[in-house]
Each structure stands twice: as structure tokens, then as C-alpha cells.
Structure 1
């Protein structure tokens, strides 16, 4: 590039195919074929371009002078290009002759010609060949009919003949979609749906690494691209030595771009190895996260829906377990959209203990067809638990992800682990609301699942940071939910003693003094105790302040009016919230009336 009167090589660390496409267009060449970063024997001054430069207007890009051994090399096709397409492997075909670009008419182009074009551009086989997909043009028309046999390396190396037609009708310019050129596979796993992700780029297979981080969403895209089922788990390790890898921008995993358009050409290496496991024969699609969506089952390389009438709760338990999710929480149809996928032809007869849905017994379905809105749509819960206490509603927060329980960690825990976040956890566990939460120092470093700070309300496992970082922490997130608080105790004492009769509750004697004692054993002081009394003729409410977490309701002389049912209710204010805790019922009989 010539800047300030000096020609120098250009080096761009985030150089991708979209940038190369702009460069090829600027040079009046065809489509970009390869982008490589080359290394010289010695350092020299080169022009560096900031990563914000997308190549659309190179003269406006911010530049700086740096000393490097690396430079960027681009190979463009010389005589053909695909324009206005969704990616470099789709668009309207234009052919160059005598420095001008011409369209090709559909009538002068066939499948074998398209195969040559796709191969010349280093794309996959042609999957679409028609006009009017990528917009009209006023470019001149190519004047010859291509007669390719399909094996040629370039379109202009094919035989051709002079056209007998004068014009190309509107909407008849050749527009090609070449199939996905990304060659990807999972290597080293137990099946084609598990292992380390490898990508073939510039004729070289390498493991794939993502900039920023892997996430459950990224893994799900990998499983989908390989026509496997849903993402199940991941594992991470570091090798002793480093190996060459292809670095890909994380955003490419989200929008299903051609991955090779997102490969950074920096010749990098890494010691990290990330293994992915996808399910092979089931998946949940169009859901809010990997543990929800419409159920589809794979057979003979095609995916089928399952009808609600052929699926029950035990079948759902097997599916959720197979996908590494929590127990099924919702099982119904028409939640995640309609589909035209074929219907699975058998009824599942799972017992609930099977490790995979296709391990269950089945029988031929009695359904002729699945009516609209009746395809099985499933929501599995995200597995959370509180550990370290006798109550399931109090303790250290842990999450089950990638087949492993770990404590949950937020790098802003002191700020984000508040009443609202802790209550979201309590609510998910059906434990009421948070009455106390804190970040404690366990003094023992453990592997943890780090989650996004913005995810406390949803608590989806899409919030988990993936294995591209190792996370250890001594911090633990603890919570006591309202349902972990013990109910108040209620008891009775009398000056003449208390007896117990079968089916009649506790008994005191007529005319003697007695007391009803309300007490709580939790740590939160204060509040009031309410004693509720009820019999066939009377309902009474008495209240006393809680002193040392108890209150004594005294009665001077027992009479028939005191015979009935008593309940203690403790009203206490804890952490800016009013809680009401109720005891069991005590039945009292007065003897000698």
C-alpha cells in the first residue's frame, strides 16, 4: 500500500475474508480465494491497519508504522467473481474479459459449469443455480456459451461456443450458491459427534480456538453444523507443547457464518485442547437454551418430530438426562414453533432409568399423523443445588454443567450476589425467597463455574463461561432461603401436668392454670408471636413480642372455652422483608368439665 509516497507491505492481525473481498474488488480482481500471513527472514517497516478497518475504504482506515517480520498475502481469482451474495461462495456470476465484467445468461450455463466455478473459488459443490436471487444488474452480457465437462480448474479453461442469442431476458443472469465449503469434524472422540473441533483451511487441518471464549451457545452451533444432536458436555486440558490452530471470532459461531471467512490468518499456536460432546440421535431445537425446545429424533440421517401422544413424563426424564440437563419441568406442544419435519413412527416406552432415548423399548405408533401443535416440546430445568447444610434450601450454590457439579462464581460476587440474585436461586429451587446471603471464603481453591453477571435472573447454562479459561476460587456463594427456616414450635404446660390421649391431643384439667409456649430456633431475633385459637364456637387471636425467640401465653383457669385447636405464627422482619412462619396445629382437651 502506498501511503505518504511510500510503498510498504501491510499487516493486519484481524484480517479476514471480508476484508480480502474488499481488497480484491479494489484491485478489479475476482473473488478472494486465500488469505495468508507470511513471515520473512528479517524485520522491515510495514503499514499496520487498525482492526476496525473492514476494507470497504482503505484510504480512510487508520494506519500506523510498525516493524514486523510478517505480512499479509491475498490470492484473488483473476477472471470470475460472485457478487451481492450472502458470503464469498454465493452471488451473481460475473466473468472478466478485456478489463470489463459481464454477466452470464442461465441458458448458456449448466450444472457442470457451476461445478467448475465453485471449485475455482475454493467453495463446496453447487447447491443452487438460478436467477434473480441476488439482484438485477445492468452489466453487459458474456458473449459465449460455456461447455465445461466439470473437471476443469477454471471457468475460462472450459470450451465455449459463440452465442446465437442477442440478449439475456430479465431475471435470467446466472446466480450461484455453492454449498458450505467449511470442512469441519470432531477428532479423537468415541463417535463423529464427539472430540476436538478441527477445520480445514488453506488445505490444512487444524484445531479451532475461539477468541474471547467458548460458550454453550458456541458448542451448540458446532453440533448443529455437524448434523449432530444437542450439545451435551465439554472437557478441557492443556498439552505440554503447543500446536498450530485456527483462531475464529466468537461472533461467527453465533450467526452461522462461513467459518473460513472468520479465520484470522495469524499463524498462531495453542496448548489448549477442548473436546466437545454432542448427542448423536436427539436434539431440542428453537428453544431458549440448550435444555429446551422441540424434540427431534434422528434416524437414517434425517430428523423427525415426536408426537405428544407417543411420549410421556418418563420418556422426558430420559431425554433430559441424556442431554445433561435437569429434570423435565414443562412437557407440551406448540411452545417453540411449528415444523414441517417428518413424524417419528414409533411410540416410546421408557421406564425412566435408561441412559438414552433410543435405548428405550418402543412400539409402532397408532397415530396416523401428528396434528398441528402436538409435536413434543420439552423444557428441562437447569440443575442447581445448595449444599453443606441439613436443609436443601440453604447452603453453598452449585450448578451441574457438562456432567459435573461445581460451585458457582461471579467475578463481581461481592456486588452481584445480593438479595435479588439469591432470591432468584431460591425461587428456582422452590424454596421461597432469600432471607440471608453472603460471599464466604472457603480457604480451599476449587474449580468453579463462572457465570455472566447479567444472568442471575435467568440462570440458564448459556451463562456459563466455557473451558477456554480455567476458573478457580476460594469464594463461595451461600444463601438461606425462607423455606429453610424451621417452623415455630408449639407446646403446652400446666400446673397439674399435661397428659396425652390417643386421637384427642393434649389434655389439661379443668380449673388449673396452663400456658401455650411459642418458640423458634432460627437465628433471627425479634418480631411477634401470634396465637390463633379456634373451636366450634370461638376464634381468638392474641399477640406477644418475641423475647429470645419465644412467647408465653398464660391462662389462669382452664375451662371448656379453652378446648380447641391452637397455632403459633411468628411474624419476623429479616433483611428488609417480612416473613410469616407457622407451627403445626396443637389440639387441646380440657378434662373434668
Structure 2
């Protein structure tokens, strides 16, 4: 064990520049050795709040915009957590003047490494813009659109609070799903995503359902400062996917709404196994066929990351902007099953 007590003022550039005094300790109780986690030097600049804007990273003493290929909401969620913001709502690149940037290697980030451990110095005319939700998030779910609801009253407040089911209803859920960029609420039920760990929110939400953010809703004092086990709000928002141009709502070109825009979906290695997940989410039975169709010219599409399809993540969490003339056409069994049922009735 170190035999001196450090007495830093906090401004020194190196630990051994600090004053120190002799310590009475030459050993340390189990579990009492210092463990330290330093936050990443990342920020979002130029947006409407500290949780939105151009992603910048401080590396080798210099702040620069960050850029990298294949950024998805799944990856952006790590930055939102680092900034103690809510969920990742949108991420995209935009054109700027050519300037030095920190290029972030996507395969390195996927391995769980910190952003600063994955950078190289480059020059680029593209930069990353990221929007996180300021004050709401869903935790413990299988995607960014499912989990136990937690709310943060303001950015100076260090605590995220869970919400009791009795203080939250369907109209409140509609606002949360909209604020997170997800589809309409599909499941609202306590105990879906683990027991309450966060403090309890002490107000009852009274949303009309049209508000753009949960904290824009009216609220009133609640008698609860605790919540019975299993009664914290668990929420699943539907995934904004659809099939268009087919004979029914259960057949057609697969489209995804992401960053506010509906586009066709493409992705490598789509089989009936992956298609079956989408059919279930659309309440359309099982997958009957999946095929690629080529259009006359390229159009904007959402490319689904290859590592997303075999996982439980939502498609929107893994979407990247691309151009392609290929589109995915999917047929589910939903209409056929319904017709079979009607025939049986006759």
C-alpha cells in the first residue's frame, strides 16, 4: 500500500505534483483500495439543449467533431448514457466544411471500448448530429422503445425517478413513446422490466396525449412516495414498421419510420427467420415469403445493421441511412389465416 495521504487542490496536472503527508496506514482493509472511473470527454454542441447537437470528443487535449461510419441508435445510446441524458432519439450525419475530426472506428465501439480508445485523426466534410431525450428513458427492456419508465425533473437533478402505475395512464404513455421517437404504446404494465431501483416520482401525470414531451404535461401532487412491488410503470412502444403496396396490410414492401421519415428497409441475410419477427410485431401471423425486388433507380433506404437481425433489438435501433435500388418484399400469413377462418365458418 501507498504510505502517504494525498492532499491535492484539484488543479494540479499530475498526482505526484500534489502535497502529501505521512499516513498511518501500511495496509488496507479488503475492498478499501481506491477504484476510479473517469468520465469520457464528450459533449453535444449547438443543439437546443445539452442533450442534442454535434457530437464532439476531447482527445489529446483537443475538442473536435466526431465522425464514424455505421452509427446507429444502438451505438448512440452509449453516448446518451455517458452524458446522463435519456434515450437516443435520432443520430445522423450532415455535411459541413472540411475540417479535422476524430474518426471513431465502429468495430472498436461495438467491442465495448470507450470512444477515445477508438479514434484516429482524419479530415472530413461530414459530422455526426445526435439527439437524446432530455428527461425520460426506458431501462431494462430489449430495445430503446421498451423498459421501465424513468423521469428526471431537471438537468441539475442527479436522480432518475421511477413512476408508479397509478400516476400514469395511456395518454401519458402516448406522449412518452412520441418523445422517444417510437411507435404508439402497445403494452403498459408494471413488473415487466424488474423491480424498482430508482427513487419514486412524486407527481401524477395528466397528459392530454398531444404534448411533445412528458414534462410539458400538467401534473398534480401524488400521495405516493413509494410504490408497491411490481407497480412501477413498464412500457413497450410499438415499432414504427409497416408493409405497403401489397394485397393486405400483412404483405408488401417493408418500411420503417426512423428519424421522422418512412423509408424501405434493406439488410443482408434476411431469411424467413428474421421476417417472422417482423410478422409477429405487425400481428400478422407467421412469415410466408421474403424476397428482394429491384427498382429502376436508387432511393433512400434504411439499412439494418448485420449484427441486429439475430438479436432482440428493434429494427430502428440498428438503422443506417443508405441509397439502394433493392427493396425487401415480405408476405405474412395474417390475411391467409383470416380467410381460412372465414371459409371454415361457412
Which TM-score applies when normalising by structure 2?
0.86
1 CA distance for matches of 2:20 and 2:131? 50
Question: Does 1:280 pair with 2:128?
Answer: no
> Which residue number in structure 2 is paired with residue 407 of structure 1?
264
Q: Name the SS for the 1:213 alignment partner.
A: coil
Match of 1:449 among 287, 296, 302: 302
2 CA distance for matches of 1:155 and 1:440? 62
The structure whose Rg is larger is 1
Aligned-CA RMSD value: 3.0
1 CA distance for matches of 2:81 and 2:222? 28
2 CA distance for matches of 1:319 and 1:272? 31
Q: Name the SS for the 1:293 alignment partner.
A: strand
2:147, 2:234 within 8 Å by CA — same for their partners in 1? Answer: yes
Question: Does 1:202 pair with 2:53?
Answer: no
1:449, 1:464 within 8 Å by CA — same for their partners in 2? Answer: no
Match of 1:189 among 28, 43, 47: 47
Question: Does 1:377 pair with 2:230?
Answer: no
Q: Name the SS for the 1:480 alignment partner.
A: strand
> Which residue number in structure 2 is paired with residue 475 of structure 1?
326
Q: 1:11-31 deviations in whole A, cap 9, x for unaligned?
A: xxxxxxxxxxxxxxxxxxxxx
Task: Give the drift of 1:378.
Answer: 1.1
2 CA distance for matches of 1:286 and 1:193? 21
> Which residue number in structure 2 is paired with residue 333 of structure 1?
190
2:57, 2:65 within 8 Å by CA — same for their partners in 1? Answer: yes
Task: Give the drift of 1:315.
Answer: 1.2
Task: Give the drift of 1:193.
Answer: 0.8
Distance 1:377 1:387, change over 3 A: same
Distance 1:253 1:309, change over 3 A: farther
1:329, 1:379 within 8 Å by CA — same for their partners in 2? Answer: yes
1 CA distance for matches of 2:338 and 2:112? 53
Distance 1:487 1:175, change over 3 A: closer
2 CA distance for matches of 1:160 and 1:483? 73
Match of 1:430 among 267, 283, 288: 283
Question: Does 1:386 pair with 2:243?
Answer: yes
**Which runs of 5 or more structure 2 residues have no equivalent in the other structure?**
none
Q: Name the SS for the 1:268 alignment partner.
A: strand
2:77, 2:87 within 8 Å by CA — same for their partners in 1? Answer: yes
2 CA distance for matches of 1:419 and 1:164? 67
Match of 2:101 among 242, 245, 257: 245
Distance 1:318 1:381, change over 3 A: same
Task: Give the drift of 1:311.
Answer: 1.0
2 CA distance for matches of 1:172 and 1:328? 48
Task: Give the drift of 1:465.
Answer: 4.1
For 1:249-264, what aligned pairs fall within 5 Å after superposition? 249-250=105-106, 253=109, 257-260=113-116, 262-264=117-119
**Which runs of 5 or more structure 1 residues have no equivalent in the other structure?**
1-102, 116-148, 489-579, 587-593
2:242, 2:254 within 8 Å by CA — same for their partners in 1? Answer: yes
2 CA distance for matches of 1:370 and 1:457? 33
Question: Does 1:230 pair with 2:87?
Answer: yes
Match of 2:147 among 276, 284, 293: 293
Q: Name the SS for the 1:316 alignment partner.
A: helix
Distance 1:371 1:242, change over 3 A: same
Distance 1:297 1:255, change over 3 A: farther
Question: Does 1:397 pair with 2:254?
Answer: yes
> Which residue number in structure 2 is paired with residue 313 of structure 1?
170
Task: Give the drift of 1:583.
Answer: 4.1
Q: Name the SS for the 1:426 alignment partner.
A: helix
For 1:15-54, what aligned pairs fall within 5 Å after superposition? none
Question: Does 1:180 pair with 2:31?
Answer: no
2:266, 2:303 within 8 Å by CA — same for their partners in 1? Answer: yes
Which TM-score applies when normalising by structure 1?
0.52
2:256, 2:316 within 8 Å by CA — same for their partners in 1? Answer: no
Q: Name the SS for the 1:478 alignment partner.
A: strand
Task: Give the drift of 1:176.
Answer: 3.9
1:221, 1:253 within 8 Å by CA — same for their partners in 2? Answer: no
For 1:533-544, what aligned pairs fall within 5 Å after superposition? none
2 CA distance for matches of 1:228 and 1:482? 41
> Which residue number in structure 2 is paired with residue 367 of structure 1?
224
2 CA distance for matches of 1:457 and 1:164? 52
> Which residue number in structure 2 is paired with residue 484 of structure 1?
335
Q: 1:461-493 deviations in whole A, cap 9, x for unaligned?
A: 266243xxx5111122223333335977xxxxx
